[in-house]
Amino acid sequence: MSHVQRIIVGVDGSAHSLAAVRWAARDAVLRAVPLTIVTALRDRLPSLADAINLRSDRSKIVRRQAEHTLAEASEVALEVAGPRDLAISTLIESGSAADVIPTLGEESAMLVLGSRGLGEFRGGLVGSVSTSIVTHARCPITVVKADNHTAAAELPVVVGLDGTEHSEPALSHALTEASIRGVELVAVHALIDFDPGHSASGGLGEPNVPSGADDDVVLAESLAGWQEQFPDVRIRRQTVRDRPVRHLVRAADQAQLIVMGSRGGGVRPTMLFGSTSQAVLHTVQTPVMIVPTAR
């Protein structure tokens, strides 16, 4: 089992960040863990206009705006929780969101972010900031799209696997998410058909990947023992000879959550290379959870 003891969601008042709050609140209720809502204030030196206008209270105004943002997000979270128990705390941090939020993550936490925000000048979680946080955080991160309608509750959780120990953290979290939602898990093992780095003077070298039958064995071995730990989760296996991004984008249309590792392992191309995770993250409308792997 994965041991998430609290969920932290970053907000900036944008529609995307409020969508992240809704997802985080639902997940916190399902996991029975507290929710921390955080916003980041990027301080700047007073400008000449500030001095001329004697706007010495600018910092107080900005802080009141942050407090309003947190209050609005808290109301959204409470609305999602309804009659169910949800402990909510709020936090205002000084600094860039890209610098502050990753430091809040730890092994016992999960971060949740909107995919885009209001921009750096408002302390927002813009696409580049979300990407930076995903890259540097040491705990699982779920990125939520504002324009993604709430997925049907019966849709499965999809996890991408590469057949190595690097997949295990993502698999553990994906199984937990499927278990608390009462849905099946679709475990996808996909390999690129050839290694573009393996070439000879006459052109591309022969594919240096296992056969399709070997793929099935690798996937079965990756899942060995996990079914006993999660007897309530039906696991559906898929082995695919296809470009990983293309297949996961298709799978996302019929999933409520995509779970991937931050990078893969081994010497051959696999679906969990950082570039693949990033491509899926920026393409699909389904929430994507990125789980750090050993480095």
Rounded CA gap, 249 and 166, in Å?
21
Longest dimension (CA), the chain: 74
pLDDT (0 to 100) of residue 259: 93
pLDDT of 239-267, one tens digit each? Answer: 776 677 788 888 888 999 999 887 644 43
Q: Which of 51-55, 148-152, 286-290 has the lowest mean pLDDT?
A: 51-55
Closest to 141 (Cα-Cα) out of 41, 283, 278: 278
pLDDT digits (tens, 9 = 90+) for 60-102: 888 888 999 999 999 999 999 999 999 999 999 888 777 777 7
Give the whole-angstrom CA distance, residue 170 versus residue 176. Answer: 10
The DSSP H or E segment spanning 169 is helix 168-181
Residues 5/109, Cβ–Cβ less than 8 Å: yes
Task: Look at residues 188, 212, 195 and name the one whose alpha carbon lies nearest to residue 260.
Answer: 188
How large is the C-alpha radius of gyration of the chain? Answer: 21
Q: Which residue has the higher pLDDT, 44 or 75?
A: 75
Structure confidence at residue 208 as a pLDDT band (50, 70, 90): very low
Domains and CATH numbers, the chain: 6-144 (3.40.50.12370), 157-291 (3.40.50.620)
Query: What pLDDT is attached to residue 46?
Result: 53
What secondary structure does DSSP assign to 200-252, as a single string?
Answer: ETTEE----S--HHHHHHHHHHHHTTHHHH-TT--EEEEEEES-HHHHHHHHH
pLDDT of 53 higher than 80: no
The reported pLDDT for the residue numbered 216 is 62
Whether residue 200 has pLDDT greater than 50 = no
Query: Using an 8 Å Cβ cutoff, are 74 and 90 in contact?
Result: yes
Q: Where are the alpha helices (DSSP H) in 48-138?
A: 48-52, 58-81, 97-104, 127-136
How would you label 201-214 residue by residue, b for 16+ Cβ within 10 Å and e otherwise?
eeeeeeeebeeeee
C-beta separation of 143 from 134 below 8 A: yes
| pTM of this structure | 0.79
Top pLDDT among 168 and 202 is at 168
Say if strands 88-94 and 199-200 run parallel, antiparallel, or are unpaired.
unpaired
CB-CB contact of 151 with 248 (8 Å): no
- Mean of the per-residue pLDDT values for the chain? 77
Residue 32 has pLDDT above 80, yes or no: yes
Q: Return the HEC string of 254-282.
A: CCCEEEEECCCCCCCCECCCHHHHHHHHH
> Tens digits of per-residue pLDDT, 159-187?
988 777 778 889 999 999 999 999 999 98
pLDDT at residue 201 greater than cutoff 60: no
